[in-house]
Chain A
Amino acid sequence: MTSAEEHNSGGMGKDLVVYLCILALAGLQFVIAYQNIDASQMFVRMLLVALVEAGLALLFFMHLATEKRGFMWFVGIFTVFVLLALQYGWTDSFRMVSGVPWAK
C-alpha cells in the first residue's frame, strides 16, 4: 500500500475529527487570551496549544503519519534543528529589558 492509499483509507471521518480538534484548540487559544495570567504564562500555554495544533496538521492533514519512517525523521530532525538553532538569543532580549546580569 502506498502512502497515498494509506491516507485515503482513513476516510473522511478521521479528517473531520482532526479538523474539529484543531478548531477546538484554536478556540482554546482565544480562551487563554482572556485568562487573568501574566504574559509569559500566557505565551507558554498558547505555544503549547499551537504545537499540538501544528502536530495534528502535520501528521494528519499533511499525512506525515503515513509517510515512510525515514522521511519522517528527515523532516523532523531538520525542522527541530532549525527551530532550536534560532533560540540562542533569548537571554540577550531579557538583558535588554532588565539589564542584569549579562549587561556588563
Chain B
Amino acid sequence: MSQADLTMEGPSAGLTAGPAFSVPTKKLAMWVFIIADTATFAACLVAYGFVRNATPNWPRPFHSITNVAVMTFILITSSLTMLMGVRAARAGNKAGALRWTFITAAGGIIFALLHIHEWLVLIDEGMRLFKNPWGTGLFGASFFSITGLHLTHVTGGVIALIAVGIRYKGGRYKADDLEILGLYWHFVDLVWMFVVPMVYLLNLAH
C-alpha cells in the first residue's frame, strides 16, 4: 500500500476530510485566538482582584461615571454597527458593508480617544505606574496594564477594521472575512463588560 493510499483510506483519512467542527479554518483560528485571549484577560483580572482583595488601602479615585458610561455605550453600539456591516456584506451590499465597517472603526477611535483622555486626567491628578496620591501604588500598575491591554486590542481592532474594509472594497476579502473580524470586535466589547465593573465601578469614590 502506498503512502497516498494510507492518507486517503487509512486511519488518518479523517485528518484531511474537512475543517474541524465544519467551521471554516480562518474562523476556527479566530475562535482559538479568542479562547487564548480570554485566558490572558482573565489572568489579568483575577490577578487584579487578588491584589485588590488583599490590599486594605485600595484607592477609589473615580468621582464620575460619565466618561466610562459614554465609552461603554460607544463600544456596545459599535458591536451593533459591526453586525450591520456583516449583514450588509452577506446581502451583497458592498457599499453598506463598507460604510458600517468604517462607522465601527470610528466608534473604536472615539472610544480610544476617550480612554486616552481619561488616562491623561488620572496622570494629571498624580497617578503613576507605581504611585498615586490615594493609596497603594499597585493601583496604577494594575489599572494601566488592564485598561492598556484593552486599549491595545481596540487600537489593533480599528487598524484591522480599516485594513479589512479596504481589502473588502477591493474584492480581496469577502463577507466571511468581515464576519471573522466581527468576532474579534465583539470579543473586545465582551471583555469591556468585565473591565468596567471590576476596574471602574468597584473603585467609585462615594
Contact = CB atoms under 8 A, between A and B. Distances in A.
A63 B29 CA distance: 16
A19 B53 contact: no
Interface residues of B, number: 46
Interface string B162-206: 000000000000001001001100110110011011100110100
Contacts of A65: none
Given A57-B186, A61-B79, A83-B38, A29 B197 contact: yes
A54 B51 CA distance: 24
B125 to A, nearest CB: 20
Contacts of B194: 47, 50, 54
B46 A26 contact: no
Nearest to A49: B197
B190 A57 contact: yes
B199 to A, nearest CB: 11
B42 A86 contact: yes
Contact of B179 (A4, A53, A67, A70): A4
A16 B80 contact: yes
A91 B182 CA distance: 38
Question: In the complex, which of the residues A12, A47, A62, A75 has the most CB atoms of chain B within 10 Å of its own CB atom?
Answer: A62
B13 interface: no
Interface in B27-80: 31, 35, 38-39, 42-43, 46, 49-51, 53-56, 65, 69, 72-73, 76-77, 79-80
B42 A82 contact: yes
Contacts of B53: 90, 93-94, 97
Interface string A6-28: 00100010011001001100100
Interface of A: 3-4, 8, 12, 15-16, 19, 22-23, 26, 29-30, 32-34, 39, 42-43, 46-47, 49-50, 53-54, 57-58, 61-62, 67-68, 70-71, 74-75, 78-79, 82-83, 86-87, 89-90, 92-94, 96-97
Given A57-B79, A57-B193, 5 more contacts: A30-B65, A43-B202, A61-B186, A62-B183, A97-B55
Interface of B: 21-23, 31, 35, 38-39, 42-43, 46, 49-51, 53-56, 65, 69, 72-73, 76-77, 79-80, 83-84, 87, 90-91, 176, 179, 182-183, 186-187, 189-190, 193-194, 196-198, 201-202, 204
11 contacts: A26-B73, A32-B197, A46-B201, A57-B79, A68-B21, A75-B31, A89-B50, A92-B50, A92-B54, A96-B54, A97-B55
